[in-house]
Amino acid sequence: MTMQQQPLPDSAQRVADLLRELGHDQPVVMLPETGKTSAEAAAGLGCTVAEIAKSIVFRRLSDDAAVMVVASGANRVDEKKVAAIVGPLGKADAKFVREKIGYAIGGVCPIGHVQKTVMLIDEDLLQLPGVWAAAGHPHAVFHLTPQQLVAMTGAPVCDVALRAEVA
């Protein structure tokens, strides 16, 4: 895994600075290829898709707030489960995500949002020793433990994964 240490793009540098302020000791790393999907990020990092902490953003219909679910890359997010916790949801387009969260889709970081964000963390992430999260840019990621993710975000841990119905 060869990742050159080049100057970070501005959005990724903002995340690196925030992580340093939080006392996080892991660097922001730039993937040579895009990490827009969990599979691409996992391939670039040499980890499993489950170890990618993907950030999925919805729009809460009642107040137009951004709702972010940080989920295991192996899981699909169950919109009904999320809506049962936070209220009815709508789709969040790229413009909404950029305005409310402050990052472009494909690099949405779980910290450093420009507006208050309603957040939930997938309980399946807590079964892993470590995860990789986007660091504000489609090529930028950082490593942390699920416990650090919970501490940094203050988000509740919930069952948000779409699971097959067991008959």
Tell me the DSSP string of 115-142.
S--EEEEEGGGGGSS-EEEE-SSTTEEE
159 within 8 A of 81, measured Cβ to Cβ: yes
- Confidence band, pLDDT 50/70/90 cuts, at residue 16: very high
**Global pTM value:** 0.92
Q: Are 114 and 100 in contact (CB under 8 A)?
A: yes
Full set of structural domains in the chain with CATH: 22-105+113-158 (3.90.960.10)
Structure tokens that stand for 82 in this block? 């999320």
Q: How far apart are CA 164 and CA 167, in angstroms?
A: 9
- Compute the mean pLDDT over every residue in the chain, rounded to the nearest whole number: 93
Query: For residue range 37-75, what is the model confidence (pLDDT) as tens digits?
Result: 899 899 999 999 999 999 999 999 999 999 999 999 999
